[in-house]
A = this chain, B = another copy of it.
C-alpha cells in the first residue's frame, strides 16, 4: 500500500515495473537552469552536471513506469517553464498548464514586478485518461497551508483534488520527489496506494513520520 524508498529517484525508478503506475504527482526541484545558484540550496540534492539531461531522463522514466491512459502532474514555476515544457513534450502530450492560485503572494522585486501569486502544474498524459467529476477550469484555488516541514510544501488539499481527478481508489500514485511526504498523506486520505522516493535522509524521516501519522489518524477515525 505505502512504499517509501530512500535514494536517487533516477536509480530507483529503473526498478519500478513498466506500465505499473496510475499517476505521477510530484513537486520536483524548480532550479533547473544554468544560471541558477541551485548548488547553494541545501534542499536540492540532485547531483548532475547537465540539468537538462537530468530532467529529460526523469521524464523518460516517468513515461516508462506509467500505465497507458494515465497522467503526469508536475509542479513548476514560470522561470523554467520552457525547459519543463520541452522535456515533457518529448515523451507526453501536454493537456494543460494548470495555474495553482495561492492565497498569498511572494516577495521579489517590490516596485518593478507584479507580486507572484501562482505556480504552474504541468498536466501531461500517456494515452487518454479522463478527468473524473465535473469539468473544472485550469485555474485552481488552494490555500497554502501553514506547516513548514519543507520550503516548497504543497497543500494536501490540492494534491487530494488532483488525485481524485485522475485516479480511482486503490490505484497507485508515485512521487519521485517526495520531500516531506504531502503526496503520501494525500494518498492515505484518498485510499490510494503510494510509492514515494526521497534522497535526503532528514526529509525521508519526516515523510515517514507524517505518513504514519496520517494512517493512524485514519484508523482512529474509523474506530
Contact = CB atoms under 8 A, between A and B. Distances in A.
B113 A95 contact: yes
A109 interface: yes
B115 A138 contact: yes
A164 to B, nearest CB: 14
A212 interface: no
Given A82-B82, A95-B112, A117 B130 contact: no
Interface in A179-217: none
A139 interface: yes
B95 A78 contact: no
Nearest to A109: B95
Interface stretch (A59-67, A121-129, A151-159, A167-175): A121-129
Interface in A108-167: 109-118, 123, 125, 128-131, 135-139
A105 interface: yes
Given A82-B85, A95-B112, A111-B135, 18 more contacts: A78-B97, A81-B81, A81-B85, A81-B97, A82-B82, A95-B109, A95-B114, A98-B114, A99-B99, A99-B118, A110-B135, A111-B130, A114-B123, A115-B135, A115-B136, A115-B138, A117-B137, A117-B139
11 contacts: A81-B81, A81-B82, A95-B113, A96-B113, A96-B114, A99-B139, A105-B137, A113-B123, A114-B135, A117-B137, A117-B138
